[in-house]
Structure 1
Amino acid sequence: MTVTYVLDGSGIRSLDDFWRAVGEAVNGPGGYFGRNLDSFADCLGGGFGTPGDGDYTVEWRDHRISAEHLGHAETARRLESLLTRGHPSHRAGVRARLEDARAGRGPTLFDELVEIFEERVPGVLRLM
């Protein structure tokens, strides 16, 4: 039996909102399903609330609202924080991505999240 998890995109206005929404959709109030892109990818691989056989779907409703809020401005905000926390050897690449995000170029956080879904669990995500 396929399990369906629903993300309410109208309430996703930041990356922190996404972590909260996906955690609660999968694991209930206060639930965890990643707090950064790497841990999110790991959670999609199974064992963190989703059925082990991968028989589930994620409906991201009102995804266009999320896409707008997880766009270049939120991407730049995340990259700015990575500059202060990330490993020094990664700073040049982060700066280049930050410059692009500030100019409205390159992939957004929304794009990255969708890509992670497609790489880890192809066909599970339904944008609605």
Structure 2
Amino acid sequence: MNKQKMTVIHGSHFSDLPGFYREASKVFMKDTGWEMGTLDGFDDILYGGFGVFENGEHVTVIWKDARKSQYDLGLEATKAFYEYKVRQGKPFNTQLIQQKLDDLMNGKGQTLFEILVEIIESHKNITLILD
């Protein structure tokens, strides 16, 4: 019997992006001793094969307290995220990041929460439930 795996992200366990990375590392990379720290790293672990599920295995992800996360990883956090990268400069493409920041401030850009949801939903073997 092929039982679908389920994992839960607890929005109550974090209030910023580093906290999200810690929570997601704990949830997806249990007992590996590895912790992600980038959006690309988060995308990579969702392919599976080196955490709690295998490559291509069907998984349901329940994001509890998603409203809290939507606020915590919303406009202000996203603005700070981009401003930090622009200040840091290399290796970041500051022109692209400045454009993303401008889009965000003009109501056209994605928040960190929306980016994370999009990353999860881009993996066809993962069903996301915002709770």
Q: Find the residue that maps to 1:120 and give its secondary structure.
A: coil
* CA deviation after TM superposition for structure 1 residue 96, in Å: 2.0
Residue 109 (structure 2) pairs with residue 106 (structure 1): yes
Identity within the alignment, %: 31
**Paired residue for 2:95?**
92
d(CA) in 2 for partners of 1:80, 1:51 = 35
Q: Which runs of 5+ in 1 are unaligned?
A: none
Equivalence for 1:45 = 47
- Unaligned runs of at least 5 residues, structure 2: none
Number of equivalent positions: 127
Query: Structure 1 residues 39 and 68, CA, compared in 2 at 3 Å: closer, same or farther?
Result: same
Alignment-derived partner of residue 63 in structure 2: 60
Cα displacement (A) at 1:81:
2.3
Change (3 A) 1:55 1:71: same
C-alpha contact 2:16 2:73 (8 A) present in aligned 1: yes
Q: Provide Cα deviations, 1:11-62, integer angstroms capped at 9, x if missing partner.
A: 3310011101111122337854531111111110112313214222111001
Greater per-residue helix proportion: 1
Task: Identify which range, 20-29 or 33-42, moves more after superposition.
Answer: 20-29
- What is the TM-score normalised by the length of structure 1? 0.84
Two-structure CA RMSD over aligned residues (Å): 2.3
Check if 1:121 corresponds to 2:119: no
Give 1:3 deviation, angstroms.
Answer: 1.8
Residue 100 of structure 1 and its aligned partner are, at CA, apart by 3.5
Q: TM-score, normalised by structure 2?
A: 0.82
Q: CA deviation at 1:87?
A: 3.4
